[in-house]
Amino acid sequence: DAGITQSPRHKVTETGTPVTLRCHQTENHRYMYWYRQDPGHGLRLIHYSYGVKDTDKGEVSDGYSVSRSKTEDFLLTLESATSSQTSVYFCAISDSYNEQFFGPGTRLTVL
Amino acid sequence: QKEVEQDPGPLSVPEGAIVSLNCTYSNSAFQYFMWYRQYSRKGPELLMYTYSSGNKEDGRFTAQVDKSSKYISLFIRDSQPSDSATYLCAMSRTGNQFYFGTGTSLTVIP
């Protein structure tokens, strides 16, 4: 998976609790992305980062925040999880405007 | 209307067949086009990348982009059981914000 790890790989939580997902890369790539994948919707971009402390919103950013304090780490936070945020979350990295390499994914269930 | 439309299938073909997978899109500004393969419970892996129009070939895989029709295709020749997966198309105007299709599920029968 191109030097990308995601943690945790699986998580079950309750509505209203905060959740943080971590993406860690060893490739020193500039760009990092968070996607969610849902049946019938495919992959949708939540947030992306184009450098340390530089982030921007994607297609479905409401209810999510991100932080990138180091090149290798990109955190996705659900401040107050809702059942609609039950999904599979993928992190991706790239070093240019083309190839994106994806991590193994995190399965999040919000009860 | 979705930015990218992709027939979800499922598509089932015999081993050795030629497979054609397609996506249509609505945004004429898209200029970066990709195809990904995703095995069950795994992350997507990049198969083909094309910038602007034209064809690109890599082994058994050929990607075609027809910007005038807003239509992209992926052809798989001599399909193998190991090609059984979900295939995702993705496209972008800027090269960083990509819009993905919902994926086409392919099964290659030995």
- For residue range A7-38, what is the model confidence (pLDDT) as tens digits? 999 999 999 999 999 999 999 999 999 999 99
Instruction: Provide the pLDDT for residue B95.
Output: 79
What pLDDT tens digit does each residue of chain B (110 aa) get? Answer: 678 999 888 999 999 999 999 999 999 999 999 999 999 999 999 999 988 888 999 999 999 999 999 999 999 999 999 999 999 999 999 877 889 999 999 999 99
Measured distance CA(A37)–CA(A15) in Å, rounded:
19
Beta bridge partners of A1: none
Chain A contact set for B65 (CB, 8 A): none
Calpha distance B16→A19 (Å, rounded)? 46
CB A57 within 8 A of CB A49: no
CA distance readout (Å), A101 to A54, A56, A63: 20, 19, 25
The radius of gyration computed from the CA coordinates of chain A, to the nearest angstrom, equals 13
Of B44, B96, B97, nearest to A102 by CB-CB distance is B44
| Disruptive mutation site among A98, A99, A107 for chain B (greatest number of B CBs within 10 Å) | A98
DSSP secondary structure of A5-64: EEE-SEEEE-TT--EEEEEEESS--SEEEEEEEETTTEEEEEEEEEETTEEEE-TT-TTE
Nearest-CA neighbor of A60 among A80, A83, A32, A38?
A38
Interface test with A, best of B96, B97, B99, B105 (most A CBs within 10 A): B96
Calculate the average pLDDT of chain A: 93
Helix%, strand%, coil% for chain B, nearest 5: 5, 55, 40
Cβ-contact B87, B104 below 8 angstroms: yes
Residues of A in contact with B85 (CB under 8 A): none
Answer yes or no: do B46 and A100 touch at CB < 8 A: yes
Distance from CA of B87 to the nearest CA of A (A): 11
Please give the C-alpha separations between residue B22 and each of A2, A72, A77, B70, in angstroms, as whole numbers: 27, 35, 35, 11
What would the pLDDT profile of B58-78 be if each residue is shown by its tens digit? 999 999 999 999 999 999 999
Which residue in the set A42, A58, A101 is minimally distant from B97, CB to CB?
A: A58
Nearest residue, CB atoms, A40 vs list B49, B100, B102: B102
Residues of A in Cβ contact (< 8 Å) with B42: 104-105
Q: What is the DSSP letter of A85?
A: G
Report the gap between the CA of A48 and the closest CA in chain B (Å).
Answer: 8
Say if residue A4's pLDDT is above 90. Answer: yes
Residue-level pLDDT at A96: 75
Backbone angles phi, psi at B81, to 5 degrees: -55, -30
What local confidence, expressed as pLDDT, does residue A2 receive? 62
